[in-house]
Amino acid sequence: MEQKLAGRPTVRSPAIIVIAATIAVAYSIPLGFQHLDLHKFLLPWYRHIEQTGQIAAFAAPFGNYTPPYLYLLSLATLIPVDPLYAIKGISVFGALLLSASVYYLLSGIPRRDEAAISVLLLPTVVFNAAVLGQADAFWTASAVMSVAAALRGRLLAMVAWAGLSFALKAQAAFLAPFVIAVLVSRRAPLRYWLVPTLVYAMAMFPAWLAGWPAQDLATVYVRQMAWQPDSGARFVSNAANWWTVAWWLDVVPPLWVGGVLGVGGVTAYVYAFRRIERRQMLAAAAFSAALLPWLLPLMHERFHILADVLAFALAWALRTRLAVAAAVAMQTGSALAVVGYTAYYSIGMATVGCAFVILALAALARLSELQPGPNGAHETELAGRRCADSSLAKAGVS
């Protein structure tokens, strides 16, 4: 019989052991797999640092990532292991940080330890870390911490985590509508709006000290947006979004249409959630993270990872059919895009995945509306309250 110790969370050893064993298998099998991106990007960057020096390598721009990831890559070169395992080790470390961030996010939710470790089995997380060796778990973990801070009413921490997330990857902008809506609803002072820029600058500062030009550091993401394959083939999108469907059907509109949709989507979102309440926040954050990658062109297969994680956390918190359906649809859509990319058949599978993301968006929009449940209580109220600090809950802050 399970016993509870005062002041300590209950540990369900059998479930944790089974999940951990599954994770060990899921991550160990593909560790030797080498996708094209490893040879085209990550391994050349690793070798450049090895040949130039862990600090001297930053004297001039290299790679198309911002320096924070390259700092980790530089440290990894000091470990006497095969470069492939060093790179994937960084990615797995990021996945562990992501798991920890979900544990923090779900404070007050029953069996959050199982939820946190189960995140490591989400398809996009497994493929990102163990298969592709990508670094998206780092920015995603920071974004999850930003949502957790918003739930606790800690606006300064929210914008600081959002800034760190953006310093790691431009995809952190997918959470921007949510962050803006929270700042607007709480009438945050101007200094809070400037914090993300300050955090970004601080993250770039070590590279600038080493000699990396400030102008280049400020425009990394501009160059990323202009990326196209060396083969000369046009890239439109391989994420599970409508642009991929349009590309597959050969009816792609001008890319400026994506800019209009993005601005319109952010504006509509902020207006809709201009009075956002705490009980809405988790569903609203998941909706934000799913919406922009669906609206915008030039999206890659793994860009829905934050939406995957937040939808999963929401389903764990609510345990309602609609929340579970949203999470399943989100994971399915993303998984089809990522598996398709890994198998070098991204367009076809991502096109199918788009339908699932549409279903997830519809479900998340519904969950964000605070629809009354059978007892007259709001469906998202439980998640919002339980995911906040107990001290805030006792104080009645909403």
Task: Count CB-CB contacts under 10 A for residue 251.
Answer: 8
**pLDDT greater than 50 at residue 362:** yes
Q: Does pLDDT of 371 surpass 60?
A: no
The domain total for the chain is 1
For the residues 74-97, what does the mean pLDDT come to?
A: 96
Is residue 179 within 8 Å of residue 146, measured between CB atoms? yes
pLDDT on residue 15: 81
Residue 143: how many CB atoms within 10 A of its CB?
A: 32
Token digits of residue 81: 């292991």
**For residue 36, is it within any domain?**
no
pLDDT band at 50 (very low <50, low <70, confident <90, very high): very high
Mean pLDDT of 148-174: 98
CA–CA gap between residue 291 and residue 74 (Å, rounded): 34
pLDDT of residue 240: 96
For position 386, what pLDDT does the model report?
57
Nearest to 179 by CA among 198, 160, 204, 203: 160
List, for residues 188-231, the tens digit of each pLDDT value. 999 999 999 999 999 999 999 999 999 999 999 998 888 777 77
pTM: 0.90
Tokens matching residue 390: 């107990």
Beta bridge partners of 379: none
**Is the model's pLDDT at 352 over the cut of 60?**
yes
Contact 20, 11 (CB under 8 A): no
**How many CB atoms lie under 10 A from the CB of residue 231?**
7
**Residue 299's closest CA among 245, 231, 352, 372?**
245
Rounded to the nearest 5°, which phi and psi values hold at 137? -65, -30
Is the CB of residue 354 less than 8 Å from the CB of residue 240? Answer: yes
For position 5, what pLDDT does the model report?
38
Domain presence at residue 271: yes
The half-sphere exposure of 271 on its side-chain side, counting CA atoms within 13 A, is 6
Q: Is residue 58, in this structure, part of any structural domain at all?
A: no
Lowest mean pLDDT among 157-161, 187-191, 227-231, 309-313: 227-231
Given a cut of 50, whether residue 391 has pLDDT beyond it is: no
Summarize the confidence of residues 97-110 as an average pLDDT.
Answer: 96
pLDDT, tens digit, 9 for 90 and up, residues 227-247? 777 777 789 999 999 999 999
pLDDT for position 385? 53
Q: Which of 285, 367, 319 is nearest to 112 (CA)?
A: 319
Contact residues for 108 (Cβ-Cβ < 8 A; gap 6+): 385, 386, 387, 388, 390, 393
55, two tokens: 């600090």
Asked whether residue 54 is domain-assigned, the answer is no
Mean pLDDT within 101-124? 96
Residue 153 lies in a domain: yes
User: What burial letters (b/e) apply to 372-385, b meaning 16+ CB within 10 Å?
Assistant: eeeeeebbbbbbbb
Helices marked H in 273-388: 281-295, 305-318, 321-342, 346-368, 381-386
Residue 198: inside a domain, yes or no? no
User: What pLDDT shows up at residue 384?
Assistant: 55
- Note the maximum CA span of the chain: 65
Residue 114 near residue 140 (C-beta atoms within 8 A): no
Calculate the CA dihedral of residues 379, 384, 390, 396 and round it to 10 degrees.
-80
Asked if the structure places residue 325 within a domain, the reply is yes
**Over residues 2-21, mean pLDDT:** 63
Q: Which domain holds residue 275?
A: 81-188+228-395
Cα–Cα distance between 334 and 352 in angstroms, integer? 10
Tally the residues of the chain. 398
User: Is residue 193 in a domain?
Assistant: no
